[in-house]
């Protein structure tokens, strides 16, 4: 896998949050690249906590932003309630995830299939439709899209009654303390009796209970609840958290392990004590016991830098900080800020700058800047200055649907527009939105799906319109439309967000056809109920209780 500037968005955040000894030293608050660190450092990091803001700006001036914490969930999460009879006893892991738009797809693409071992999975996530091909076991996300809110819990080696009682206590606690609301999706218990005898399966545990629930809160409430699980000091005091809910591609999540020692034992049982993975984990986390939590929120935004830009203030521009507020890191623990600009952007200065004191670090080759925010108090912002004119004009590309909801057999009009919101015209424009037809070749599409123009002046639009007729109900994915254009001596490419469109069943037409076919009333009722159940399971998994336009 070829590493480029985009991969740093995920890789650096993961490296800091999960393997912080390789990024930050624990002496004198200095930020240095350090490999030879005492093994007690990671314990200190988890005990005292750490937080990071990482932002990446792509060559089109579009930001991707992550705020994350490790080791410092709020005390109200109750991870310490894992003794005998407590609600987390026997719980290996609990995870909460709320995501909308293509954020999850984007992160998976940046990490790469090789990094997470998803060999055989498709390059993109595709919504599975009726009669649209066979189910691929490697593409579970294709079934649920990328717009959903879930709670996932795993219990090992407890009785079924104990697992359900403790899961009920966790749900009740999350509801009362943080406002989460849940609906059942999956309740699965696995032991050796689960498999046919002829398979001769030997499991590294006696039993495992897997619980998956839909978080029924609206997306913005779910994200705010995840943020409420974090420690409320440090950077969170300066962030307008609506940036994580207003963006069309955004999300937040928590991964909590009530007892790392129990999880390490389970991993060893799966992989063997001498496996490479187990050896790596035990080397990184020697004799680690007790609770661990990692929480993060992030978004992919719209273009923020253009031809007129020569400065970016990270907290004010990307995280909604009020210009009169100051920024402080954690009272105890490590705080880090990092920004990456495209490699061809000439950075003229950044503030604060203390490389002589080993508090900041700038790599001109990669365009990456680190600040050890632990060393600064009451900081107005973290600012980077660069040469003007290195980004293209501000260009917007958007797709709309009319009507916003549809039943099977109906048609939707799709409009894709490009708007020049800059101060200069752009040239040789090509606008293309053909990926829907490529994804669903059997669906009827009429109209214009691509066009060209020699020039697009300031304040002008370039549009294409086409009509899609749906035969089957389901959730359909519209991959990004793309515009390419020339500005200066460079050709740029910009894409819209991923969109999804929900087509609900035409129940009246279905009933009429079934009656016309002479189906008995009892069978008719059973068929309608069964079909409705299948459809609603799909909608629930996608985070929607009914039809409508939604992001996947």
What distance lies between CA 479 and its chain's CA centroid?
17
Q: What confidence tens digit (pLDDT) does each residue in 190-223 have?
A: 877 776 777 666 666 788 898 989 899 998 998 9
Residues 344 and 365: their CA atoms lie apart, in Å, by 9
Q: Kindly report the number of other CB atoms within 10 A of residue 165's CB atom.
A: 13
Q: Kindly report the number of other CB atoms within 10 A of residue 195's CB atom.
A: 13
Q: What confidence tens digit (pLDDT) does each residue in 16-33 have?
A: 343 332 222 222 233 333
Residues 460 and 249: their CA atoms lie apart, in Å, by 26
Residues 61 and 58: their CA atoms lie apart, in Å, by 5
Q: Which residues have C-beta within 8 Å of that of residue 237, sequence separation ≥ 6?
A: 328
Q: Based on the number of CB atoms within 10 Å of its own CB, is 479 exposed (0-12), middle (13-18) or buried (19 or more)? A: buried
Confidence of residue 143 (pLDDT cuts 50, 70, 90): very low
Quote the mean pLDDT of the chain. 74
Q: Residue 167: pLDDT above 80? A: yes
Q: Based on the number of CB atoms within 10 Å of its own CB, is 439 exposed (0-12), middle (13-18) or buried (19 or more)? A: middle
CATH code 2.30.30.90 for 395-550: no
Residues 2 and 159: their CA atoms lie apart, in Å, by 47
b/e sequence 235-259, b meaning 16+ C-beta within 10 Å: bbebbebebbbebbbbbbbbbbbbb
Q: Residue 113: pLDDT above 50? A: no
pLDDT at 267: 54
Q: What confidence tens digit (pLDDT) does each residue in 335-373 have?
A: 989 999 998 899 999 999 998 888 888 888 888 898 989
The values of phi and psi at residue 290, to 5°, are: 90, 180
Average pLDDT for 85-95: 85
394 compared with 519, residue with greater pLDDT:
394
Q: Residue 306: pLDDT above 60? A: yes
CA dihedral for 131, 136, 141, 143, sign (positive or negative): positive
Confidence of residue 74 (pLDDT cuts 50, 70, 90): low
Residues 137 and 25: their CA atoms lie apart, in Å, by 42
- In the chain, the largest separation of any two C-alpha atoms, in whole Å, equals 85
Which element (helix H / strand E) includes 252?
A: strand 249-257
pLDDT at 249: 81
pLDDT at 325: 92
Reading the block at residue 321, the tokens are 């900080």
493 conformational bin, left if phi > 0, alpha if psi -120 to 50, beta if neither: beta
State whether residue 349 is helix, strand or coil: strand
Q: What percent of the chain has pLDDT over 90?
A: 32
Q: Residue 432: pLDDT above 70? A: yes
State whether residue 496 is helix, strand or coil: coil
In the chain, where the domains are located? 1-62+303-391, 75-121+137-297, 395-550
23 compared with 142, residue with greater pLDDT:
142
Q: Kindly report the number of other CB atoms within 10 A of residue 14's CB atom.
A: 18
121 compared with 24, residue with greater pLDDT:
121
Average pLDDT for 370-380: 92
Please list the residues that pair with 97 across neighbouring strands.
Answer: 150, 253
Confidence of residue 122 (pLDDT cuts 50, 70, 90): very low
N- to C-terminal Cα separation, the chain: 26
Q: Residue 79: pLDDT above 50? A: yes
b/e sequence 112-146, b meaning 16+ C-beta within 10 Å: ebeeeeeeebeebbbbbbeeeeeeeeebebbbbbb
324 compared with 100, residue with greater pLDDT:
324
Confidence of residue 310 (pLDDT cuts 50, 70, 90): very high
Q: Which has the closest alpha carbon to 214: 149, 311, 119, 284? A: 149
pLDDT at 202: 66
b/e sequence 260-281, b meaning 16+ C-beta within 10 Å: bebbbebbbeeeeeeeeebeeb
pTM: 0.72
Average pLDDT for 285-301: 74
pLDDT at 22: 27
Q: Which residues have C-beta within 8 Å of that of residue 311, sequence separation ≥ 6?
A: 383, 384, 385, 386
Confidence of residue 427 (pLDDT cuts 50, 70, 90): very high
Q: What confidence tens digit (pLDDT) does each residue in 465-491 have?
A: 999 999 888 778 888 899 999 998 889
Residues 100 and 24: their CA atoms lie apart, in Å, by 32
Q: Crossing angle of helices 276-284/260-271, nearest 10°?
A: 160
Most confident of 73-82, 226-235, 433-442: 433-442
Average pLDDT for 93-100: 86
Q: Which has the closest alpha carbon to 13: 368, 317, 289? A: 368
pLDDT at 175: 93
Q: Kindly report the number of other CB atoms within 10 A of residue 483's CB atom.
A: 23
pLDDT at 247: 84
Q: How many CA atoms lie within 13 A of 256 on its CB side?
A: 28
pLDDT at 92: 84
pLDDT at 172: 94
Q: Are 17 and 52 in contact (CB under 8 A)?
A: yes
Q: Which has the closest alpha carbon to 35: 53, 23, 44? A: 23
Residues 66 and 340: their CA atoms lie apart, in Å, by 12
Q: Tokens 């709320």 identify what position?
A: 98
Q: Which has the closest alpha carbon to 334: 21, 11, 38? A: 21
Average pLDDT for 231-238: 89
């Amino acid at each position: 896998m070829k590493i480029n500037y985009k991969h740093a968005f995920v890789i650096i955040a993961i490296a800091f949050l999960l393997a912080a000894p390789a990024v930050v030293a624990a002496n004198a608050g200095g930020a240095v690249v350090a490999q030879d660190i005492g093994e007690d450092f990671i314990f200190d990091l988890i005990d005292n906590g750490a937080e990071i803001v990482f932002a990446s700006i792509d060559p089109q001036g579009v930001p991707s932003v992550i705020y994350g914490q490790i080791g410092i969930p709020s005390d109200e999460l109750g991870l310490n309630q894992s003794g005998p009879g407590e609600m987390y006893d026997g719980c290996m892991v609990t995870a909460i995830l709320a995501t909308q738009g293509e954020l999850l797809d984007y992160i998976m693409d940046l990490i790469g299939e090789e990094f997470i071992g998803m060999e055989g999975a498709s390059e993109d996530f595709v919504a599975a439709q009726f009669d649209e091909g066979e189910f691929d076991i490697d593409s579970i996300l294709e079934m649920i899209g990328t717009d959903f809110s879930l709670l996932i819990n795993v219990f090992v080696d407890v009785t079924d009654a104990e697992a359900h009682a403790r899961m009920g206590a966790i749900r009740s606690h999350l509801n009362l303390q943080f406002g989460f609301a849940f609906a059942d999706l999956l309740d699965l218990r696995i032991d050796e009796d689960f498999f046919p005898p002829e398979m001769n399966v030997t499991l590294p545990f006696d039993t495992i209970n897997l619980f998956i629930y839909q978080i029924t809160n609206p997306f913005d409430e779910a994200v705010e609840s995840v943020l409420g699980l974090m420690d409320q000091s440090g950077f969170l005091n300066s962030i307008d958290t609506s940036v994580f809910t207003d963006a069309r591609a955004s999300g937040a999540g928590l991964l909590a392990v009530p007892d790392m020692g129990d999880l390490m034992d389970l991993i060893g049982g799966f992989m063997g004590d001498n496996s490479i993975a187990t050896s790596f984990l035990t080397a990184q986390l020697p004799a680690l016991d007790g609770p661990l939590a990692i929480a993060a929120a992030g978004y992919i935004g719209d273009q923020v830098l253009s031809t007129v830009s020569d400065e970016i203030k990270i907290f004010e521009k990307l995280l909604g900080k009020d210009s009169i507020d100051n920024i402080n890191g954690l009272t105890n623990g490590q705080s880090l800020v990092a920004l990456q600009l495209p490699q061809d952007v000439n950075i003229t200065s950044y503030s604060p700058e203390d490389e002589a004191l080993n508090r900041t670090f700038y790599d001109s080759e990669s365009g990456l800047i680190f600040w050890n925010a632990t060393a600064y108090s009451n900081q107005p912002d973290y600012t980077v200055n660069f040469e003007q004119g290195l980004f293209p004009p501000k260009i917007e590309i958007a797709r709309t649907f009319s009507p916003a909801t549809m039943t099977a057999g109906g048609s939707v009009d799709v409009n894709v527009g490009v708007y020049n919101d800059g101060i200069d015209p752009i040239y040789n424009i090509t606008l293309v939105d053909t990926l829907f037809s490529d994804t669903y070749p059997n669906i009827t599409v009429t109209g214009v799906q691509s066009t060209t123009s020699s020039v697009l002046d300031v304040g002008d639009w370039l549009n294409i319109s086409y009509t899609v007729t749906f035969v089957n109900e389901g959730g359909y994915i519209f991959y990004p439309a793309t515009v390419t254009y020339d500005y200066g001596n460079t050709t740029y490419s910009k894409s819209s967000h991923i969109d999804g469109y929900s087509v609900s069943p035409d129940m009246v037409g279905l009933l009429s056809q079934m009656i016309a076919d002479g189906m008995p009333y009892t069978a008719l009722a059973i068929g309608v109920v069964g079909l409705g159940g299948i459809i609603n399971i799909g909608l629930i998994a996608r985070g929607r209780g009914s039809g409508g336009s939604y992001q996947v």
